[in-house]
Amino acid sequence: MKGIFRLTAAALLACLPLLGPVQGACAEEWTPSKVAELQARADAGDAQAQERLGELYDEGEGVKQDYAKARQWYEKAAAQGSLDAQNALGLLYAEGRGVPQDYAEASRWWEMVAREGHADAQFNLGSLYDDGQGVKQDYAKARQWYEKAAAQGNAAAQNALGLLYEKGRGVWQSYAKARQWYEKAAAQGNASAQVNLGEMYREGHGVRQDYAKACQWYEKAAAQGDEDAQVNLGEMYREGHGVKQDYAKARQWYGKAAAQGHVAAQVNLGVFCAEGWGGRQDYAEAIRWFEKAAAQGDATAQFNLGEMYEKGKGVRQDLRKAKELYGQACAQGYKDGCTGQQSLDVLGKAIGF
């Protein structure tokens, strides 16, 4: 089925989130009395209590979220040698929570902890070398740190090694080794590895192409709320790959990913709403999703919004606004945006707008 609006390709491979305190680890009914008891232990110098209190402030569990206080308690625990607290401090600096973002300072903390054998810190340090953040990009060093963490069973590091082998970064490119590492991580429930393993089956990289198996891995990750898996499932239902073609299910999966801010899902959901695929046609809803994606700088969304304004679909026709949006898309190299802008230039001179 073909419409006038443009779909966009999904970002199929999953990214590498940094590792810190386990989200929800503190959610054990932290009543005011329990927090007060923990506070008393922390004030008395108990390093474990200090680190745990830092987690509470970090996550906003039992107390009002306060990154500055989280940092203060992590620092107290770190000064007593708490490796978890030192790793958590690195994460605060890497993400700029309660402190100015500073990858170099993050790398300082993580290297100190990684050398003590802390698997999460080893993975995090490897990620900095992988991306060249706070350190000179060095895939070989990234691999070394990932391998140390992976040897301890760290699933995120195993997934990261799979990516290095799949892309041939710091190692000889090998789909076979990539798959081996993805399988190790996926077996531990790592959603990113499940997405990446699904992509190998989808594309036939190192395995026989198998859309059904790809869908199975995407479904495992999507069940954990992984937005990349959700948008990939939307693609599979849209194309009828490994599953019966079903625009309604495609729209549902795009909706789940779009609600998490996935830009490709927002664009595609907007198209489905505008065209009436898999549900009722709803121009207002289409505009809402195009606007969200355009606000993230997506050129396809900018073009589609331009179409809405040019045709007066869901909004009052506004050729100037349409031209502006086409121009934004064109500035990013989106050819259809350039064509639309030029067309309205000609029309504007002819009718005077």
Q: Which two tokens stand for residue 67?
A: 């990154």
> How large is the average pLDDT for residues 113-125?
97
Q: Place 348 in a pLDDT band, splitting at 50, 70 and 90.
A: confident
Burial readout 104-119 (b: 16 or more C-beta within 10 A, e: otherwise)? ebbbbbbbbbbeeebb
110 with 135: CB under 8 angstroms?
no
Mean pLDDT over each residue of the chain, to the nearest integer: 93
pLDDT at 40: 96
pLDDT at 25: 47
pLDDT tens by residue, 128-152: 999 999 999 999 999 999 999 999 9
pLDDT tens by residue, 63-76: 999 999 999 999 99
Q: Place 120 in a pLDDT band, splitting at 50, 70 and 90.
A: very high
Q: Place 167 in a pLDDT band, splitting at 50, 70 and 90.
A: very high
pLDDT at 352: 75
Q: Which two tokens stand for residue 55?
A: 């987690």
Q: What is the pTM of this model?
A: 0.86
What percentage of the chain carries pLDDT values higher than 70? 92
92 with 99: CB under 8 angstroms?
yes
d(CA 290, CA 307): 11
Coil/strand/helix, residue 156: helix
pLDDT at 29: 82
Q: How many CB atoms lie within 10 A of CB 93?
A: 23
> How large is the average pLDDT for residues 245-252?
98
Closest of 293, 264, 288, 260 to residue 274, by C-alpha: 288
Burial readout 173-207 (b: 16 or more C-beta within 10 A, e: otherwise)? eebebbbebbebbbeeebbbbbbbbbbbbbeeebb
pLDDT at 3: 61
> How large is the average pLDDT for residues 231-251?
97
> How large is the average pLDDT for residues 270-286?
97
pLDDT at 2: 54
> How large is the average pLDDT for residues 284-297?
97
